[in-house]
């Protein structure tokens, strides 16, 4: 009976806290109307001078997606240390972060093993690494203030009026002015440079796995001239199919890069627009939606990489031998 009363009292207090936060949100929106930030496809530069200059690439600037990448790396390293400390405890069954990490690794490895078979140990590190990195980067974009806190700079057009919130802390209002906020952090997947680089890593790693599994014979997957002189007609057909295989490998780079970039950038734009138009209740629903979108996109990217790597380990004649 006492446990039931305590549980009921706790639920009642939670409802009052939710109501209090809703009221405070309405008051805050009335006092400080939300400002729709500039929506730019390219990441914003955090400095006016380049960090360094490379011979071919040219000037290299620090952008807000690079700072997010560094932050994601720090989070991954801290999680790894936390899991290591959890596994060092004198317990047969890991708990906390170590237990969650073990369950995640087990699910991902079983999925890899069911698809790749005996090549699972070779493919699993790529598969798991891509999923973890993309998932953390996608979810970090949902942290409140992630793309709203930054440096106040003057702009020539489409600026806002500046206001002092605290000593040394400035903000912008919905009124027209000459200032704009350049955020310090921005979701990595909303930068085409990141998604294209990840796509290149995925495709190149697939070729490495293919050569490791099949040796030099893997090159005939893209330049199949084995039967070109023995059976001219069928050999020409095999050669044409192999050229299509080569074209499809290059098309994977575009497909991977624009799929992840398009979904995450559209989610960022949707969240910004909803937060500025209906700033009290609607953003919570959109953030929940984007939470699952980030999970699905990370899983799709990693799953496709794993499937393509599994296919690269199998020659054209494996099915007939089986």
CB-facing half-sphere around the CA of 163: CA atoms within 13 A: 12
User: What pLDDT is recorded for position 321?
Assistant: 42
User: What pLDDT is recorded for position 5?
Assistant: 56
Write the CB contacts of 82 (distance below 8 Å, at least 6 apart in sequence).
97, 98
- State the sign of the Cα–Cα–Cα–Cα dihedral 144, 150, 154, 157: negative
**Is residue 44's pLDDT more than 80?**
yes
Query: Is 0.75 topped by the overall pTM?
Result: yes
User: What pLDDT is recorded for position 198?
Assistant: 93
Helices 192-214, 120-140: crossing angle, 10 deg rounding: 170
**CA angle at residue 106 from 100 to 111, to 5 degrees?**
130
31 pLDDT tier (thresholds 50, 70, 90): low
Q: Are strands 58-60 and 52-54 parallel, antiparallel or unpaired?
A: antiparallel
Three-class secondary structure of residue 309 per DSSP? helix
Q: What percent of the chain has pLDDT over 70?
A: 85
- What are the residue ranges spanned by the domains of the chain? 63-149+184-314
Residue 35 CA: distances (Å) to CA of 27, 28, 158: 16, 13, 12
H or E segment at 36? none
Please tell me the least confidently modeled range out of 16-20, 29-33, 159-163. Answer: 29-33
Residue 257: alpha-carbon gap to chain centroid? 11
Residue 293 CA: distances (Å) to CA of 53, 111, 142: 37, 20, 11
User: What pLDDT is recorded for position 124?
Assistant: 92
202 pLDDT tier (thresholds 50, 70, 90): very high
Residue 164 pairs with which residues in a beta bridge? 170
**CA angle at residue 220 from 239 to 316, to 5 degrees?**
90
User: What pLDDT is recorded for position 319?
Assistant: 40
CB 173 within 8 A of CB 161: yes
pLDDT digits 0-9 by tens, 256-312: 999 999 988 888 888 877 777 766 666 777 788 888 999 999 999 999 999 999 988
Looking up tokens 């993309």 gives: 134
Three-class secondary structure of residue 168 per DSSP? coil
320 pLDDT tier (thresholds 50, 70, 90): very low
Helices 120-140, 282-312: crossing angle, 10 deg rounding: 160
Q: Which residue has the higher pLDDT, 15 or 258?
A: 258
- Tokens linked to 115: 């698809």
pLDDT digits 0-9 by tens, 17-26: 767 766 776 6
CB 188 within 8 A of CB 65: yes
Q: How far is residue 240's CA from residue 227's CA, in Å, rounded to a whole number? A: 12
Q: How far is residue 269's CA from residue 280's CA, in Å, rounded to a whole number? A: 17
* Phi, psi angles (nearest 5°) of residue 188: -65, -35
H or E segment at 279? none
CB atoms within 10 A of CB 254: 11
Q: What percent of the chain has pLDDT over 90?
A: 25
pLDDT digits 0-9 by tens, 102-136: 888 899 999 999 988 888 889 999 999 999 999 99
């Amino acid at each position: 009976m006492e446990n039931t009363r305590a549980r009921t009292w706790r639920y009642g207090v939670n409802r009052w806290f939710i109501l209090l936060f809703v009221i405070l949100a309405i008051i805050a929106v009335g006092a400080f109307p939300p400002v729709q930030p500039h929506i730019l496809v390219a990441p914003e530069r955090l400095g006016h001078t380049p960090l360094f200059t490379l011979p071919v690439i040219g000037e290299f600037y620090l952008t807000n997606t690079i700072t997010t990448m560094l932050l994601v790396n720090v989070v991954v390293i801290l999680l790894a240390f936390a899991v290591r400390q959890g596994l060092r405890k004198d317990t047969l069954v890991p708990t906390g972060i170590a237990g969650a990490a073990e369950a995640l690794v087990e699910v991902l490895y079983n999925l890899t093993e069911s698809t790749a078979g005996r090549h699972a140990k070779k493919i699993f590190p790529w598969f798991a690494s891509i999923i973890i990195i993309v998932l953390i980067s996608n979810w970090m974009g949902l942290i409140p203030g992630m793309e709203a806190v930054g440096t106040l700079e003057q702009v020539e057009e489409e600026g806002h009026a500046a206001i002092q919130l605290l000593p040394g802390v400035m903000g912008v209002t919905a009124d027209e002015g000459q200032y704009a906020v350049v955020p310090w952090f921005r979701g990595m997947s909303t930068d085409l440079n990141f998604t294209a680089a990840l796509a290149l890593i995925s495709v190149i790693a697939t070729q490495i796995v293919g050569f490791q599994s099949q040796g030099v014979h893997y090159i005939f997957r893209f330049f199949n001239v084995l039967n070109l002189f023995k059976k001219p007609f069928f050999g020409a057909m095999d050669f044409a199919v192999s050229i299509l295989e080569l074209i499809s490998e290059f098309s994977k780079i575009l497909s991977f890069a624009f799929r992840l970039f398009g979904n995450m950038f559209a989610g960022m734009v949707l969240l910004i627009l909803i937060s500025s138009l209906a700033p009290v209740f609607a953003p919570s629903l959109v953030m929940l939606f984007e939470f699952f979108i980030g999970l699905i996109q990370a899983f799709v990217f990693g799953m496709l990489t794993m499937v393509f790597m599994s296919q690269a380990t199998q020659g054209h004649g494996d099915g007939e031998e089986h």
